[in-house]
Amino acid sequence: MPIKIPNQLPATNILTEENIFVMTETRARTQDIRPLQILLLNLMPTKIDTETQLSRLLGNTPLQVELTLMHMASHKSKNTSEEHLLAFYRTFDEVRDRHFDGMIITGAPVEQMPFEEVEYWGELCEIMEWSLTHVHSTFHICWGAQAGLYYHFGIQKRPLEKKLFGIFPHTADSKRSILFRGFDDVFFIPHSRHTEVAREDLEKIPDIKILASSPEAGVFAITTRKGRQIFITGHPEYDAGTLKKEYLRDVAAGKPIEIPKNYFPNDDPEREPLVTWRSSANLLYSNWLNYFVYQTTPYDLSEIK
């Protein structure tokens, strides 16, 4: 089934060329079906890249998904045009009276700052609190996961000695977790971060459970009871070239950066990266939509509480 996205969104042409089934608002109005209402809070600076990556994954399931894009009113984007935001994005005030089957909170390039010093922290806290009564299942990514764990459970992020950067092997801690149903015994996920959430801090909280981790990258997936909140510390949504762009950007800026691990063949940046995480990314989002959103969300969204 298709993902329903706004008319003229740049992602439409890209996904159509990739044979991802997309449906514009105009065509969707002719179908008698209630699509899953998914809210994407996009905190990434390259918003068009991120909305395309996540639309690609959300559109690769048998379920019809209607995507609403949201940005922070308390932050002015430097990398996305005001015209794009006005055309395709909503602010929290414009959606606060609605209910959603699911919400995704992306990462953000602010992880080395204390949470309270982030410009839009107050607005984000209001949104995370609102999600408890207006969203059936919330999926947090990277810094968004760290922010959610800190706000809801008081778990502080910890600095790493050096940036965790590359593609890392993972295994499921909880072998019966339906979030990882169909996964191989070892699966690969991209990471790009300077901080982590420590296993020992997570294990002190009885209301959350670690679902998957990596010997090198640490804890990867955490959930609350019944999956109303899911926290993912990596970036399974990344495109083939995303880590390459980050690497070349930091090299050009003169920042200390190592070649991303397990990414370029023979660690040669002149060669095209190997994509080893695409199937895991598609299955992760498919499982979330199926088991934690579609099968348990109420038909009447106003009943979410």
pLDDT digits (tens, 9 = 90+) for 95-126: 999 999 999 999 999 999 999 999 999 999 99
Residue range 263-279: mean pLDDT, rounded: 96
The rounded distance, in Å, linking the Cα atoms of 122 and 127 is 9
pLDDT digits (tens, 9 = 90+) for 26-56: 544 544 567 899 999 999 988 999 999 999 9
Summary mean pLDDT of the chain:
90
Question: Which residue type is seen at 152?
Answer: H
Question: Could you tell me the pTM of the whole model?
Answer: 0.88
pLDDT digits (tens, 9 = 90+) for 237-262: 999 999 999 999 999 999 989 999 99
What pLDDT was estimated at residue 25? 57
Question: Which residue type is seen at 170?
Answer: H
66 belongs to the catalytic site: no
**Per-residue buried b or exposed e for 249-276, using 16+ beta carbons within 10 Å of the residue's own CB:** eeeeeeeebeebbbbbeeeeeeeebebe
Residue range 206-227: mean pLDDT, rounded: 96
Q: Which residues contact 98 (CB under 8 A, 6 or more apart)?
A: 37, 134, 301
18 belongs to the catalytic site: no
Residue range 209-215: mean pLDDT, rounded: 97
Measured from the Cβ of residue 126, the count of other Cβ atoms closer than 10 Å reads: 14
The rounded distance, in Å, linking the Cα atoms of 251 and 235 is 21
Burial label, 301 (beta-carbon count in 10 A; 0-12, 13-18, 19+): middle
Contact 220, 263 (CB under 8 A): no
| pLDDT band (50, 70, 90) for residue 295 | confident
What pLDDT was estimated at residue 30? 47
Catalytic residue (one of 142, 152, 170, 246): 142
pLDDT digits (tens, 9 = 90+) for 144-187: 999 999 999 999 999 999 999 999 999 999 888 999 999 999 99
Q: What percent of the chain has pLDDT over 90?
A: 73
What pLDDT was estimated at residue 64? 87
Measured from the Cβ of residue 5, the count of other Cβ atoms closer than 10 Å reads: 27
Supply the DSSP symbol for 225: G
Look-up of token digits 């009113």? 73
Catalytic residue (one of 111, 196, 237, 246): 237
Contact 75, 120 (CB under 8 A): yes
Greater model confidence, 63 or 13: 63
pLDDT at 57 over 70: yes
Compute the half-sphere exposure of residue 24: CA atoms within 13 Å on the CB side of its CA: 11
Catalytic residue (one of 111, 134, 235, 246): 235
125 belongs to the catalytic site: no
| pLDDT band (50, 70, 90) for residue 1 | very low
Residue range 194-205: mean pLDDT, rounded: 97
Residue 28: which region, alpha, beta or left (left: phi > 0; alpha: psi -120 to 50)?
alpha
- With vertex at residue 284, the alpha carbon angle to CA 121 and CA 192, rounded to the nearest 5 degrees, is 50
What pLDDT was estimated at residue 175? 83
